[in-house]
Structure 1
């Protein structure tokens, strides 16, 4: 059994429902992959790869008491073919390139959800069968399958025209064309600069075949077989000039405008791509790009995994990240010091912030004992837990301000 059959073991009786699911917009609910070269350009791929690389460090965790057996699946191996890091990275890459990312459930023989798989179809449409909407996939190899919309996952961005799907990246097409023209211009400029090295003007009018023959002779005698470093020519030539080889490059201001256009579109910057960001710059990138993806991924996986009743009782899947790993050591020290003695962090939580291994019995919470409630500032608590007035205090506070 191949991968396709494992991912789509059961299909609706009519594998190609003809009726489109009725939507509120005038657009048919169809998404077609747009191959505009977005992932083929170096700069745009770098922006996409940086996003996917950081998203791959998200942790998928189960919240609540339902489906605890899925905790290792989400945390380690969402499907038999990829680990959690690869799963999230591929999903994030598809999400950035296509603005639509699809997740299909991996089920066992009994039809029970046991994993998740990101798919990249050539075309997807919302079809109706038996009164229910289905996601119908058409893949590059010609395979076709459908799965209930309620069982599948769909992440989108730039969603405007369609009720289900996000728009493609056509607004980036002019920038991509300029980038490609830039690259071709640089290559051709270098080739041309190194092709013609001398310009010679003949003193007489010759036939074309004589000119070609003289060009070959002159090049052979003076450029190929000349070991003296001295070029000689007779009265056949009125003038011989050397061409300075200067490679043509694109205007730096134009290059900067193109880079800024890409950075603005993907919500990133030079420092994120080169891993030279500060903790404040990382936090801004996380909140602007990584966190929205993490929230949407959490909601989509939650809807795929749990029933509405289970979700109402607190069941869910969350995608979290240890953002403090990117903070400076001073920031980490201040946070751990302030939160540990207030009972917010354990020893092992503090060690994790510093990328250190946990210790035995390090999951206990501690709190400083000199803290007291404002309403009990004039009382003391003995080891038995009873509260008594302080010495010299009769407990009568009538008339106190």
Structure 2
């Protein structure tokens, strides 16, 4: 829950703007469909179930390993901020994890920019978790108005805010929620209750005895307590059960714990796995490189792409976008590969000048080395245009160990004479 102090800090540069918004609200922003342009946080407890929380946590944890980078010269100084501390209250891993978690739970996640004194220069980003969000119209433009659990509210221009969505169909601005998962959530709840109650019931009765005479309820209660105390309590250390002729029959009940059918449990689990695009191997960290690559491409990469686009559009103007400025999120997918694959990729791409020494070190999760940004090629490689030029090949061979050098121009005079 966002408290009043944090809310004031996040929206501190907009205090005067907030007052103007209250005077200029023209009602809800008109949408193309009949749905009210508002969003309410899902209260169905999707994050409170063990299996669904595990699926969300695995997803958010993998997403939190993404590395933000600034492409282009505009806002280049913000790159280190994004890579270490996007706002004063959380580091990059926490920032991305929170966004990914909110997006999975609510199917809509909001990001607001933090501004310098000029209210134009962005200095960071903060993920919001409002209880309710409305799209209002102010001077003909859409604004987002946030309502928080402590009763506070704030507003920001839609063009300045960041909005990530999943399952966006009926609403023009927000995701459609996780209502489709409600039947599965009910099944999970009933399943857990059934297991607990079944175990309780199966462990309640251990012996059954029939009295040889008719007694009133009060006397039967005394006899039951007396039988249990003499034979079933911790005081009976002999392990021998004794009873007199007043008991006509005493039988031991074979107590078996109740367990839900394994196939039924598997079906319910698969409902969750299908909905969250995951599997048991991902949740239990038993995946190999092929399963990880499939999970990355199906779940992590779409998130990285959407987050990149959202932050890019928040940061840059149309003119800056035209010069290829962007925020991108990258992942070293080879960290999850087998050592055999790592070795093959490292050797094949390094000696062709595609990877530097430090990039190879990244693959093996090792520290960078001095002068590790140079590129090298094998001695027997040469540019095609110099194949018939002995001098050109010798020059390339002589330059090995100094990085890739610009090959000398082909000697067209000698080539013409040979022709």
Fold equivalence (TM over 0.5):
yes
> Which position in structure 2 is the counterpart of 1:242?
252
Query: Structure 1 residues 234 and 359 mapped into 2: Cα distance closer, same or farther (>3 Å)?
Result: same
**2:318 and 2:45 mapped to 1: Cα distance?**
40
2:179 aligned with 1:176:
no
User: Matched residue of 1:367: which SS?
Assistant: coil
Counterpart of 1:61? 69
Q: What is the aligned partner in structure 2 of residue 335 from structure 1?
A: 345
Q: 2:50 aligns with which of 42, 45, 59?
A: 42
Between Structure 1 and Structure 2, the one with more helix by share is 2
Counterpart in 1 of 2:138?
A: 129
How many angstroms does 1:250 deviate by?
Answer: 0.7
Match of 2:108 in 1: 100
The reply on whether 1:51 has 2:51 as its aligned counterpart is no
Question: 1:152, 1:229 → 2: CA distance?
Answer: 73
CA distance in structure 2 between the partners assigned to 1:75 and 1:347 by the alignment: 22
Q: In structure 2, do the counterparts of structure 1 residues 236 and 362 end up closer, same or farther at CA, with 3 Å as the change threshold?
A: same
1:35 to partner: Cα distance:
1.4
Does the residue aligned with 1:245 lie in a helix, a strand or coil? coil
In the superposition, relative to structure 1, how do residues 98 and 392 fare at CA in structure 2: closer, same or farther (>3 Å)? closer
- Tell me which residue corresponds to 2:6: 3
- Give aligned pairs, total: 396
**How high is the TM-score relative to the length of structure 2?**
0.90
Question: How do 1:344-355 and structure 2 match up within 5 A?
Answer: 344-355=354-365
SS at 2:68's partner residue?
A: strand
* Aligned-residue offset at 1:393: 7.7
Match of 1:163 in 2: 172
Question: CA offset at residue 302 of structure 1?
Answer: 0.3
Structure 1 gaps of 5+ residues are 397-401
Q: How do 1:135-214 residues align onto structure 2 when only pairs under 5 Å count?
A: 135-214=144-223
Compute the RMSD of aligned alpha carbons. 2.0
Shift of 1:333: 1.6
Closer, same or farther in 2 for the Cα pair 1:29/1:381, shift >3 Å?
farther
- 1:399 is aligned to none
Q: Secondary structure at the match of 2:203?
A: helix
Gapped runs of 5+ residues in structure 2? Answer: 396-406
Task: Output the TM-score relative to the length of structure 1.
Answer: 0.93
Aligned residue in 1 for 2:79:
71
> In the superposition, relative to structure 1, how do residues 388 and 92 fare at CA in structure 2: closer, same or farther (>3 Å)?
same
- Contact 1:343–1:367, Cα closer than 8 Å, also in 2: yes
In 2, distance between residues paired with 1:32 and 1:122?
Answer: 6
Deviation (angstroms), 1:219 = 1.5
Q: Deviations over 1:190-221 (max 9, x none)?
A: 22222211111223332222221221122222
**Separation in 1, partners of 2:158, 2:275:** 30
